[in-house]
């Protein structure tokens, strides 16, 4: 179902072509198969293979490295379409996109040449890792550490938590402490491009000391794995410090926070996508189901719900596109990205819940797609900064911009 106001969303011809292509892909390949992969909690390998062929792992990677070289706005439009299909699919691309962004913005020329061409093709996929068992929001409290040895490599020790694509990724952008005494603590944090064997739990040889425990069992967001990572004497060459040892040491926190800003636009687009799908399902079901002699869509209470849902979807989409367009224009968009993430993830939850209610008892049945949406959606309230953290960011930025 096309969005009614599409012609006013000012898509370029390229953006129209891309979103139409991805919507068709979602309708034909993702939506009909999501139930199976969700139920089995199985990685959707055939879908990922097709995504590689469509170039979806290189959307924002420059053409000189084999990517499509598209901007954040087009990427956000693509993510909306993928998430409309199944947010686990967008999750497979999401951490990869953040890894590509980190490399494009902060990587040395050698790092870009080494990783970006293979990443554009999806041959190597990227994950990123900040969270630990004892922390998520409070990133400066990270305990995993790296110490330089006599051989010039950095030995990493510690445990990470909730790493999306933790098993199948080939590179993990990992934030660790390199100076425990730094004051403020964020100045003692460094991002390492930690390489490993994709799909291997117990790494050996040059990657020895990097273990991926079994995936975490989750209420939703299945198919894509979320794992812990254990670093136990893992040696990372100094050249794998993002941006190089000289420029990158102690810069990890700033680099990661920059990446999370575009990550928030990405999560906002995921909220729009899942809400759009929930709205479509509700519009269809409410015209099929009859109670008291008429379609439930003809009861005013249901129409009001549909009205609120559609309004929230459109508002979330507009906020998301504004944040993306500002970033693409080189304008500061931290505040706007926070607003988009906060609003779209909360709107997503509300719209999915309303769609669930409209489905009555059938919404509780696994026969109906909305049941999966209801389990998948809450992740968006948590990942890349909870709603409380978004409000903190928005509040702080507001006061900075309007200081009297």
Ligand X SMILES: Cc1cc2nc3c(=O)[nH]c(=O)nc-3n(C[C@H](O)[C@H](O)[C@H](O)COP(=O)(O)OP(=O)(O)OC[C@H]3O[C@@H](n4cnc5c(N)ncnc54)[C@H](O)[C@@H]3O)c2cc1C
Among all residues, which ones are annotated catalytic? Answer: 384
3-state secondary structure of 198: coil
Residues 6+ apart with CB under 8 A from 283: 1, 297, 306
* Only segment of 64-72, 129-137, 334-342, 349-357 that touches ligand X (CB under 6 A): 129-137
Q: 68, 242, 310, 379: which one contacts ligand X (CB under 6 A)? A: 379
266 binds ligand X (CB under 6 A): no
326 versus 385: smaller Cβ distance to ligand X: 385
Chain positions 232 to 251 lying near ligand X, rule: CB under 6 A, are none
Least gap, CB of 211 to ligand X (angstroms): 17
Q: 47, 72, 93, 389: which one contacts ligand X (CB under 6 A)? A: 389
* Only segment of 125-133, 145-153, 189-197, 279-287 that touches ligand X (CB under 6 A): 125-133
Bridge partners of 235?
A: 155
Residue at shortest CB range from ligand X: 136
Least gap, CB of 94 to ligand X (angstroms): 8
Annotate each residue in 269-288 with x if it binds ligand X (CB under 6 A) or - if it does not, as one string. --------------------
C-alpha to C-alpha distance for 143 and 387, rounded to whole angstroms: 24
The answer to whether the CB of 380 falls within 8 A of the CB of 373 is no
CA angle 303, 307, 308 (to 5 degrees): 120
What's the chain's Rg over C-alpha atoms?
21
Least gap, CB of 327 to ligand X (angstroms): 21
C-alpha to C-alpha distance for 95 and 101, rounded to whole angstroms: 10
* Only segment of 71-79, 239-247, 313-321, 383-391 that touches ligand X (CB under 6 A): 383-391
236: nearest Cα among 190, 192, 175: 192
C-alpha to C-alpha distance for 237 and 337, rounded to whole angstroms: 34
Chain positions 143 to 202 lying near ligand X, rule: CB under 6 A, are 162-164
Q: 102, 124, 130, 393: which one contacts ligand X (CB under 6 A)? A: 130
- 263 φ, ψ to 5°? -60, -35
Chain positions 207 to 226 lying near ligand X, rule: CB under 6 A, are 218, 221, 226
Class of residue 40 by CB neighbours under 10 A (exposed 0-12, middle 13-18, buried 19+): exposed
3-state secondary structure of 122: coil
Least gap, CB of 341 to ligand X (angstroms): 12
C-alpha to C-alpha distance for 169 and 115, rounded to whole angstroms: 12
Least gap, CB of 97 to ligand X (angstroms): 12
386 binds ligand X (CB under 6 A): yes
Least gap, CB of 382 to ligand X (angstroms): 5
Q: What is the DSSP letter of 174?
A: E
Residue 62 tokens, joined: 């420059």
50 versus 387: smaller Cβ distance to ligand X: 387
Q: What is the DSSP letter of 163?
A: E
217 versus 294: smaller Cβ distance to ligand X: 217
86 binds ligand X (CB under 6 A): no
383 binds ligand X (CB under 6 A): yes
33 versus 140: smaller Cβ distance to ligand X: 140
C-alpha to C-alpha distance for 71 and 126, rounded to whole angstroms: 19
Size of the site for ligand X (CB under 6 A): 22
80 versus 132: smaller Cβ distance to ligand X: 132
Q: Do you know the residue count of the chain?
A: 404
C-alpha to C-alpha distance for 75 and 59, rounded to whole angstroms: 7
164 versus 240: smaller Cβ distance to ligand X: 164
C-alpha to C-alpha distance for 320 and 36, rounded to whole angstroms: 30
Query: What is the binding site for ligand X (CB under 6 A)?
Result: 95, 128-131, 135-138, 162-164, 218, 221, 226, 379, 382-383, 385-386, 388-389
């Amino acid at each position: 179902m096309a969005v009614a106001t599409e012609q006013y969303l000012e898509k370029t011809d390229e953006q129209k072509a891309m979103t139409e292509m991805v919507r068709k892909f979602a309708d034909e390949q993702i939506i009909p198969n999501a139930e199976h992969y969700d139920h089995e909690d199985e990685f959707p390998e055939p879908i990922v293979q097709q995504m590689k062929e469509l170039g979806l792992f290189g959307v924002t990677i420059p053409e000189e490295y084999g990517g499509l070289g598209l901007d954040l706005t087009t990427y956000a439009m693509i993510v909306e379409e993928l998430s409309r299909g199944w947010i686990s699919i967008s999750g497979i691309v999401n951490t990869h996109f953040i890894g590509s962004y980190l490399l494009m913005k902060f990587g040395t020329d050698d790092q870009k040449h080494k990783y970006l061409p293979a990443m554009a093709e999806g041959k190597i996929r990227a994950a990123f890792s900040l969270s630990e068992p004892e922390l998520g929001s409070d990133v400066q409290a990270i305990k995993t550490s790296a110490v330089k040895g006599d051989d010039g490599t950095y030995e990493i020790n510690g445990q990470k938590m909730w790493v999306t694509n933790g098993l199948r990724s080939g590179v993990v952008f990992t934030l660790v402490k390199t100076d425990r005494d730094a004051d403020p603590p964020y100045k003692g944090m460094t991002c390492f491009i930690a390489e490993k064997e994709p799909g291997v739990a117990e790494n050996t040889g040059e990657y020895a000391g990097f273990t991926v425990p079994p995936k975490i069992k989750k209420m939703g967001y299945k198919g894509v794995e979320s794992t812990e990572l254990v670093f136990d004497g893992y040696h990372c060459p100094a050249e794998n410090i993002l941006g190089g040892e000289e420029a990158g040491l102690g810069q990890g926190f700033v680099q990661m926070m920059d990446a999370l800003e575009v990550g928030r636009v990405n999560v906002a687009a995921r909220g729009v996508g899942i809400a759009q799908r929930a709205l479509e399902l509700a519009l269809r079901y409410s015209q099929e189901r009859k109670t008291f002699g008429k379609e439930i869509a003809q009861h005013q209470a249901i129409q009001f719900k549909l009205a609120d849902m559609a309004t929230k979807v459109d508002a979330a989409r507009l906020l998301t596109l504004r944040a993306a367009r500002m970033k693409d224009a080189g304008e500061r968009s931290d505040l706007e990205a926070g607003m988009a993430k906060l609003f779209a993830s909360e709107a997503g939850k509300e719209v999915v819940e309303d769609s669930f209610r409209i489905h009555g008892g059938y919404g509780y049945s696994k026969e109906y797609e909305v049941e999966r949406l209801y389990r998948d959606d809450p992740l968006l309230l948590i990942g890349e900064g909870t709603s409380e953290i978004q409000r903190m960011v928005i509040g702080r930025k507001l006061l900075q911009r309007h200081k009297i």
